Structure 1
Amino acid sequence: MDLSQIKMVVTDMDGTLLNSKHEVSPRFFEIFEELKKKNIAFVAASGRQYHSMVDKLDSIKNEILVIAENGALIKQQEKTLLTTTINQSEVHRILDTVQPLKNVHPVLCSQNTAYVGGDSNEFLDMLREYYSEFQIVEDQKQVVDDVLKIAIYHFESSEEHIYPHVKHLEGELKVKVSGANWVDISDLNAHKGYALKKVMDEFQIAPNEIMVFGDYNNDLEMLELSDFSFAMANAHPNVLKTAKFRTDSNDNFGVERILEKLI
């Protein structure tokens, strides 16, 4: 595996760069300094909110590019490079579909905050890990802010309890099982692959010059853009099938081990 041409590294956050405690390792930040010396750019790409992502990467946030909300938002040093929103009528349609479901919690994600219902303290406690900024609203249909993504949570299984009820929206909207508990719905062009292709075009990065890491279905499109795509050992079967290479799990420094080889 010849990594001598790599100019950019892209990694998902949850299940990939973050360990099971939702932490970025000190080892990664040391590696990042070495990447900088070699002029290798770093991109964090996540379904997370932008504010949550930069909280995790605070010490380097002004030196990286951030693809947030599954590709609906690209930012660099607080400068917004791309936003892709959902039509408000579609937002209402999605809410009408999921609100009758039991124990299902939709989150309306905008650029600067998120809007949630306040009917479950257990959900709100969990949400704080993923959303640094959010507001509790009585009726999500009254939100007039531009919506980048609707993230829908179920405490047991998103694939079992949410996805079957929203699968029919595929084709008109991007529907992704983005984690064990999350399904994300966005505009057809709001996905990590679309956003990363924009970045690659802007920085003139070829498939053999970029390394991509992921673990779940919302990573599939961006993994397909790279000749050096890596699935984590803990990855969803679809990711293991799509990625060209494998690495260790997120709890066993899977990203860091490959980056050390790159360095």
Structure 2
Amino acid sequence: MDFSQIKMVVTDMDGTLLNSKHQVSPRFFEIFAALQQKNIQFVAASGRQYHSIVDKLSPIKEDILVIAENGALVKEKEHELLVTPIQQHLKDELLGIIEEIEGAHAMLCGKYNAYFDEKSASFLGDLKEYYSNYEIHKNLRDVTDQIIKIAVYHNKNAEAHIYPALKDLEHLLKVKVSGLYWVDLNHSDAHKGYALDKLMKDHGLASHEVMVFGDYNNDLEMLELSDYSFAMANAHPNVKKVAKYETASNDDYGVERILEQLV
């Protein structure tokens, strides 16, 4: 493959750049320095909260673009480039539907703060990995912050236990299985593809100038924008169908292997 025209690298975090222990490898940070020398822009694109993403990429956070909350928030340093909240009138309706799903736990995601209810406290250890800034409320309907995503957690399998109850809402908003335990609800325009398309237009980039990595269904739209789209070996079957290429797993340096070829 000819990578000579690549000017931007975009990668998902969990299951992609992060290994199974939720770690970024030292190998990646070494490659990042080489990307900078080649003036190749790096974009971290995740369903995670903004603060959680930059915590993982703390050494380089001043030198990257961040697509957070599945594209509902896009930032460069302290500058907000895009914010796409859920319509306020939908919040309580969605919470009511989620409360009827056995084993489901809803998290409201503001731009910089997440909100859990007291019923989720038993899962707090798991949730803090993805939401480093949070508050616990007795009733999520009392939260007045602007909400840009509702994340729904199931401790066994979100695709099997949560998605069937929410998929009929896809005419109203984005319903994405974003991981083994998660289904995410966003505004219809709040997805990684919409956010990446804006960045590509802002930077004057075409599909052959962007390289994208992903592993789950919330990565599909951004993978479709690139001529150099890579599914991880551990990716969901839907991702492998859409991506043009495949790389090794997130535990076998799949992203780093391709970036080493790039630099």
Tell me which interval the TM-score lies in, with the shorter structure as reference length.
over 0.9
| C-alpha distance after superposition, 1:62-103 (max 9, x if no partner) | 000000000000011121111000111111111010112222
Structure 1 match to 2:155: 155
Asked if residue 250 in structure 1 is aligned to residue 240 in structure 2, the reply is: no
Asked if residue 232 in structure 1 is aligned to residue 227 in structure 2, the reply is: no
Distance (whole Å) between structure 1 residues aligned to residue 112 and residue 14 of structure 2: 21
Give the number of aligned pairs: 263
Q: CA deviation at 1:125?
A: 1.1
Q: CA deviation at 1:251?
A: 0.0
Contact 1:118/1:124 (<8 A) preserved: no
Contact 1:157/1:180 (<8 A) preserved: yes
Structure 1 match to 2:87: 87
Q: CA deviation at 1:146?
A: 0.6
Which residue type is aligned with residue 186 of structure 1? Answer: N
Q: CA deviation at 1:206?
A: 0.6
Q: CA deviation at 1:27?
A: 0.1
Asked if residue 221 in structure 1 is aligned to residue 211 in structure 2, the reply is: no
Distance (whole Å) between structure 2 residues aligned to residue 27 and residue 139 of structure 1: 44
Runs of 4+ in 1 over 3 A off after TM superposition: none
Q: CA deviation at 1:261?
A: 0.3
Distance (whole Å) between structure 2 residues aligned to residue 88 and residue 40 of structure 1: 38
Which residue type is aligned with residue 43 of structure 1? Answer: V
Q: Secondary structure at the match of 1:178?
A: strand
Q: Secondary structure at the match of 1:101?
A: coil
Distance (whole Å) between structure 1 residues aligned to residue 251 and residue 15 of structure 2: 8
| C-alpha distance after superposition, 1:159-202 (max 9, x if no partner) | 11100111110011110001111000011000000000000000
Which residue type is aligned with residue 229 of structure 2? Answer: S
Pairing of 1:7-86 with structure 2 (within 5 A): 7-86=7-86
Q: Secondary structure at the match of 1:259?
A: helix
Q: CA deviation at 1:49?
A: 0.1
Q: Secondary structure at the match of 1:85?
A: coil
Asked if residue 211 in structure 1 is aligned to residue 211 in structure 2, the reply is: yes
Which residue type is aligned with residue 239 of structure 1? Answer: V
Distance (whole Å) between structure 2 residues aligned to residue 122 and residue 96 of structure 1: 21
> TM-score normalised to the size of structure 2?
0.99
Q: Secondary structure at the match of 1:119?
A: helix
Asked if residue 188 in structure 1 is aligned to residue 188 in structure 2, the reply is: yes
Q: Secondary structure at the match of 2:119?
A: coil
Contact 1:16/1:232 (<8 A) preserved: yes
Structure 2 match to 1:129: 129
Structure 1, gaps ≥5 residues long: none
Contact 1:11/1:44 (<8 A) preserved: yes
Distance (whole Å) between structure 1 residues aligned to residue 120 and residue 247 of structure 2: 37
Q: Secondary structure at the match of 1:132?
A: coil
Distance (whole Å) between structure 2 residues aligned to residue 230 and residue 120 of structure 1: 35
Distance (whole Å) between structure 2 residues aligned to residue 89 and residue 116 of structure 1: 19
Structure 1 match to 2:170: 170
Structure 2, gaps ≥5 residues long: none
Asked if residue 105 in structure 1 is aligned to residue 105 in structure 2, the reply is: yes
Q: CA deviation at 1:122?
A: 2.9
